[in-house]
């Protein structure tokens, strides 16, 4: 099979998809923005060929590059794994008659108001929402639904650009910041109270082959707005039990409603006073290295599993569920340059057998703001056979390991 893979070199973990495709026997042509000379020898060794384009989100440039490859040899798949690349890849895929995620599915997984409308029509519980570029429509929606509300980019990912508004003044400020008064379009949603988690899959022809359930502590919006919090993401090893039956059932209904076929998926959900509620989904892998966490927990190479399913349509591998696993982000008390750490040696002495890997930038490294995400500064990934024990250890790490900055 000949697979075109978008942007094989950046971000860093993109090379893992290329590695895996080559390992299962695919010929891989990379399409990226940098020159081929900038690729390291290992990555070039996995690639069959490489095409440079000015921008991988420039549909015309991508179309020309793909047509150029097709003029030389047959192309079986065109794949993108980064949220910002999904829509342009779908358009080019359809224009070039290459199988894969359709433009409709890609659009529904990117445009949050359209996504939620499609799922409401399918009877799946989700927040009331609208997409609008009108301040008056936004005010009318607030009057109908009430506060709090969430305002976010229509095609955003994670908490990027997301605002919680609690009153009329907050609404007006958020509308100005998002540019709605200048014609920008946003998604506005009812705020759903409850615990936040996600369900990730690898699917073939719409059937779930691998699935994982993870939890945020605290929710993403709070974690990405509060400096002192050391947020955690933890995946359970009890996915197959009754506790998550409703999540598994709702997730499959979402896949069917959005016509997701052979793809990685990342679906966010809430559970609270209104029960289980759908939040949003992407037809792509999760971020913040979660496939590495799943692999450590389940004795799997998820990149290879993705490639195996894409190229061969089946796999004999199954998640072991041996461990719960998770990561904790460790932040400095304020921004600046990292000066030193406290508690790292004790962490390794007390819980070294649970550590999967860790990252502590050297002293002198500039810190990054909380909005930069879970892997912006220091972090630790750990695993343990018991979920509750792992949570206790991660809490201990958050309390005892300190990142200091000047």
CA distances from 169 to 77, 131, 142, 187, 264 (A): 49, 20, 12, 18, 40
pLDDT in tens, 98-154: 999 999 999 999 988 899 999 999 999 999 889 899 999 999 999 999 999 999 887
Instruction: Identify whether the C-beta of residue 132 lies closer than 8 Å to the C-beta of residue 291.
Output: no
Q: Do 265 and 375 have their domain in common? A: yes
- Residues 183-199, mean pLDDT to the nearest whole number: 92
Write down the pLDDT at residue 280.
94
Tokens found for residue 236? 């359970």
Average pLDDT over the chain reads: 95
Tell whether the model's pLDDT for residue 158 goes beyond 80.
no
Q: Residue 314: inside a domain, yes or no?
A: yes
The answer to whether residue 293 is domain-embedded is: yes
Q: Which residues contact 16 (CB under 8 A, 6 or more apart)?
A: 291, 303
* CA distances, 95 to each of 32, 62, 359, 368 (Å): 19, 11, 43, 40
Domain, as residue range, for 143: 128-190
pTM beyond cutoff 0.75: yes
- The Cα–Cα gap between 36 and 52 comes to 7
- 350 with 387, same domain: the answer is yes
- Among 55-59, 64-68, 148-152, 397-401, whose mean pLDDT is lowest? 148-152
Q: Are 374 and 303 in a shared domain?
A: yes
Same domain membership, residue 31 and residue 91: yes
Read off the tokens for 190: 């009812």
Are residue 77 and residue 152 in the same domain, yes or no? no
Residue 94 included in any domain: yes
Looking at the fold, whether 232 and 366 belong to one and the same domain comes out as yes
Q: 204 and 337: one domain?
A: yes
pLDDT tens profile 304-328: 999 999 999 999 999 999 999 999 9
Q: Helix (H) and strand (E) counts for the chain?
A: 14, 18
- Indicate if 363 and 389 belong to the same structural domain: yes
């Amino acid at each position: 099979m000949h697979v075109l893979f978008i942007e094989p070199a950046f971000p860093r973990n993109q090379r893992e998809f290329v590695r895996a495709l080559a390992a299962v026997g695919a010929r891989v042509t990379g399409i990226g923005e940098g020159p081929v000379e900038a690729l390291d020898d290992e990555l070039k060794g996995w690639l069959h060929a490489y095409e440079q384009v000015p921008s991988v989100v420039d549909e015309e440039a991508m179309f020309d590059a793909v047509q150029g490859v097709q003029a030389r040899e047959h192309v079986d798949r065109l794949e993108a794994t980064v949220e910002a690349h999904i829509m342009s890849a779908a358009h080019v895929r359809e224009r070039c008659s290459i199988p894969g995620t359709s433009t409709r599915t890609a659009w529904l997984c990117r445009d949050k108001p359209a996504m939620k409308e499609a799922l409401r029509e399918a009877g799946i519980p989700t927040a009331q929402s609208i997409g609008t570029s009108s301040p008056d429509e936004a005010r009318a929606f607030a009057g109908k639904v009430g506060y709090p509300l969430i305002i976010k980019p229509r095609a955003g990912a994670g908490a990027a650009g997301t605002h919680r508004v609690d009153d009329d003044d907050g609404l007006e400020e958020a509308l100005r910041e998002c540019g709605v008064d200048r014609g920008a379009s946003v998604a506005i949603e009812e705020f759903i109270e409850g615990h936040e988690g996600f369900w990730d899959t690898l699917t073939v022809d719409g059937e779930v082959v691998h699935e994982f359930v993870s939890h945020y502590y605290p929710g993403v919006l709070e974690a990405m707005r509060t400096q002192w919090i050391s947020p955690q993401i933890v995946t359970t090893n009890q996915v197959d039990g009754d506790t998550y039956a409703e999540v598994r059932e709702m997730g499959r209904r979402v896949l069917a409603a959005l016509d997701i076929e052979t793809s990685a998926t990342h679906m966010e959900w809430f559970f609270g006073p209104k029960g289980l509620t759908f939040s949003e989904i992407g037809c792509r892998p999760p971020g913040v290295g979660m496939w590495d966490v799943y692999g450590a927990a389940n004795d799997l190479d998820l990149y290879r599993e993705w490639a195996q399913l894409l190229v061969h349509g089946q796999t004999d591998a199954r998640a072991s569920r041996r461990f719960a696993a998770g990561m904790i982000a460790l932040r400095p008390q304020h921004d600046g340059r990292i000066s030193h750490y406290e508690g790292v040696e004790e962490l390794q002495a007390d819980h070294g057998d649970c550590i999967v890997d860790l990252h502590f930038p050297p002293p002198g490294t500039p810190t990054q703001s909380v909005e930069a995400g879970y892997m912006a500064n220091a972090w630790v990934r750990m695993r343990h056979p018991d979920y509750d024990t792992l949570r206790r250890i991660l809490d201990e790490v958050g309390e005892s390991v300190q990142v200091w900055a000047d």
